[in-house]
Structure 1
Amino acid sequence: MGTIIAVCISKTRGTQKQACASAQLIADWGIQGDAHAGCWHRQVSLLAAEEIDAFNAQGAGVQPGAFGENLIVRGIGLRTLPVGTRLRCGSALLELTQIGKECHTHCAIYQKMGDCIMPREGVFARVLTGGAVQPGDAVDIVLCTAPLPLQAAVITLSDRCAAGERTDHSGPAVAARLADAGFTVAVQCILPDDRAALERTLIDLCDRRQLDLILTTGGTGFAPRDITPEATRAVAERDAPGIAEAIRAASMRITPRAMLSRAVSVIRGKTLIINLPGSPKACQESMDVFLDQLPHALELLRGIPQDCGR
């Protein structure tokens, strides 16, 4: 059990949050009156009081809200909780959606101290059930016996689609197929054929969002800008080559040009990443190969015991 030490809000983005006596959490929105509330996955931010104490012991002298956090909680190691953990905060119920965040610009705290704890220690949540919160309220981890739905991301790699010069048909088709198969498609985005951008996005989705599956489409051929396999290998911790090999083997029965695919399949943490080709038709044909095997594979990655001998 933990305790809320401070509740902080800011009415406009880019301004420091200020401590307040209480706040109202709104389901699927966030804290009423807070600039970061909205229909997205980072509706409420939380930070452990112990981490702030340790940082202030180095002479930082920060006040509640300085890191952009909504709730300061003492007594729970927030950073160690997995995505999907549910927290009862006062009368409200939150579900963790992200651990840590990428720092795009160094804040004033970083400029002063050469460090900032929010990118690595902050956690983010969406509001499942609204309610009032105030300092002194208890924070409890709610045990949930039902497994989380399998969560996926779909990334389209295309310079022209990213520039708005061409409509992306492959990404939506892949996302729809996943949704029909029972997946929650948490992220769907378009990126240019830029290796660094893809690597950053993959790391964020694997490490911070902790998704089960990422499917990329495009950028797997011989063209100079086709960098998807290289970016995917760069973030990999383990290989899962059988999936890419099976896709190529099945595709060779359709077209001999399948031998030109450089697509890979890998694992980072508990996330499976699979490269798909760029055309909507080829994406569907590729998914025909592996889609029915994904629940078993992803449950193994989650650490759920499986009967692999069947």
Structure 2
Amino acid sequence: MGQIKAICTSETKGTLKHVVHKALFHTEWGIVGDAHAGDWHRQVSFLGHEEIKAFRRRGVLVKFGAFGENIVADGFDFKTLPVGTRLRSGDVWFEITQIGKACHKACAIREQVGDCIMPREGIFGRVLHGGWIEEGDMLEITEEPMPLDAAIITASDKGSRGEREDKSGGKLKEMLEAAGYAVLEKAILPDEQDALEHKLKEFAALGFGLIATTGGTGFSVRDVTPEATRAVCTRLAPGIAEAMRAFSMGITHRAMLSRAEAGICKRSLIVNLPGSEKAVEECLGFILPELRHGIEILRGEAGECARK
């Protein structure tokens, strides 16, 4: 375990990074606003404080960020950590993906002082769970599973205007917390696809294991939750919605009219649930025991689902 001494970002590649005292990390992206963030395996770079101090003892005064590092921390010899090592700082989880790299020709610090320690001392990783990190926060190696967290979105025109009590969202929260989930966010939105997509992306960027929606899955022209879900998901998980419909057909044949979807966005599982409190209790109660295993697989904390 060690302390984070600096967080550094740059707006463009090929330039020295500058210190920011607080940064927002997005799941499978990196630091919001950093030029090196993106949908690739080197989303965040790490460099040890001791290595920077050793470089300074050579008579070269370099500031934090000079080597293109995002996070400077003491207590680590980063280059000795194997690929796959997980690091955690508060809500933010990282996985090491690469040790060192070839120094590019336009390296600003190499041009200035003739050497760059990042290729031999630095490491790179991806963000498994997003959140805020501040200078002075602790960074640790961890083998623990990520906390089982969730966010809830209620799609309801009347609910968003305060004209209807959000009973289905309340039931969702009650059931998820009883099953061991920490429900960290809850939003009530109008039945507008753009607003729903934005909130789904926001919650997925923070890395919530489960994003559960309620409402907006029927035939009304205002029912657009499935469309918003498909728009943000990179992979669908049709078995979940099919299972809910099959189960509900034993209760009411109108279950065939449900257009609910389920899918994966970054490291989050999104599941559309019905808009009534009773239907939420029935459908979520049926699928809930299996969702945890799916989330564990998505997070790389469990094997596949096949049984012998």
Q: TM-score range by the shorter chain?
A: 0.5 to 0.7
Residue 96 of structure 1 and its aligned partner are, at CA, apart by 2.5
Q: Residue by residue, what CA displacement relative to the aligned partner does 1:51-106 show, whole Å, maximum 9, x if unpaired?
A: 2685866xxxx9866x9769x9647545xxxxx9534xxxxxx44289xxxxxxxx
Aligned to 1:96: 92
Aligned to 2:167: 169
In structure 2, C-alpha distance between the alignment counterparts of 1:48 and 1:302, rounded to whole Å: 27
Alpha-carbon contact 1:212-1:271 (below 8 Å) kept: yes
Match of 2:88 among 86, 89, 108: 86
Aligned to 1:125: 132
Cα 1:3/1:185, change in 2 over 3 Å? closer
Letter in 2 for 1:294: L
Aligned to 2:176: 178
Aligned to 1:4: 5
Letter in 2 for 1:251: S
Q: Residue by residue, what CA displacement relative to the aligned partner does 1:234-253 show, whole Å, maximum 9, x if unpaired?
A: 11111111111111111111
Q: Residue by residue, what CA displacement relative to the aligned partner does 1:6-56 show, whole Å, maximum 9, x if unpaired?
A: xxxxxxxxxxxxxxxxxxxxxxxxxxxxxxxxxxxxxxxxx425x268586
Alpha-carbon contact 2:23-2:132 (below 8 Å) kept: no
Q: Residue by residue, what CA displacement relative to the aligned partner does 1:248-287 show, whole Å, maximum 9, x if unpaired?
A: 1111111111111111111122211111110000001001
Cα 1:304/1:68, change in 2 over 3 Å? closer
State the TM-score, normalizing by the size of structure 1: 0.62
- Answer yes or no: is 1:226 the counterpart of 2:223: yes
- Residue identity over aligned pairs, in percent, reads 39
Cα 1:291/1:200, change in 2 over 3 Å? same
Match of 2:262 among 256, 260, 265: 265
Cα 1:68/1:309, change in 2 over 3 Å? closer
- How many residue pairs match? The answer is 219
Unaligned runs of 5+ in 2: 25-62, 72-85, 95-126
Give the secondary-structure state (helix, strand or coil) at the position aligned to 2:295.
Answer: helix
Letter in 2 for 1:48: C
In structure 1, C-alpha distance between the alignment counterparts of 2:166 and 2:64, rounded to whole Å: 43
State the TM-score, normalizing by the size of structure 2: 0.62
In structure 1, C-alpha distance between the alignment counterparts of 2:147 and 2:22, rounded to whole Å: 30
5 Å matches for 1:202-281? 202-206=200-204, 208-281=205-278
Structure 1 segments (4+ residues) deviating >4 Å: 52-57, 62-65, 67-70, 72-76
Cα 1:68/1:297, change in 2 over 3 Å? closer
Unaligned runs of 5+ in 1: 6-46, 79-83, 88-93, 99-120, 134-138
Aligned to 1:302: 299
Alpha-carbon contact 1:247-1:286 (below 8 Å) kept: yes
Residue 220 of structure 1 and its aligned partner are, at CA, apart by 0.5
Alpha-carbon contact 2:18-2:64 (below 8 Å) kept: no
Give the secondary-structure state (helix, strand or coil) at the position aligned to 2:144.
Answer: coil
In structure 2, C-alpha distance between the alignment counterparts of 1:142 and 1:198, rounded to whole Å: 35
Q: Which protein shows a greater Rg? A: 2
Alpha-carbon contact 2:22-2:132 (below 8 Å) kept: no
Aligned to 1:33: none
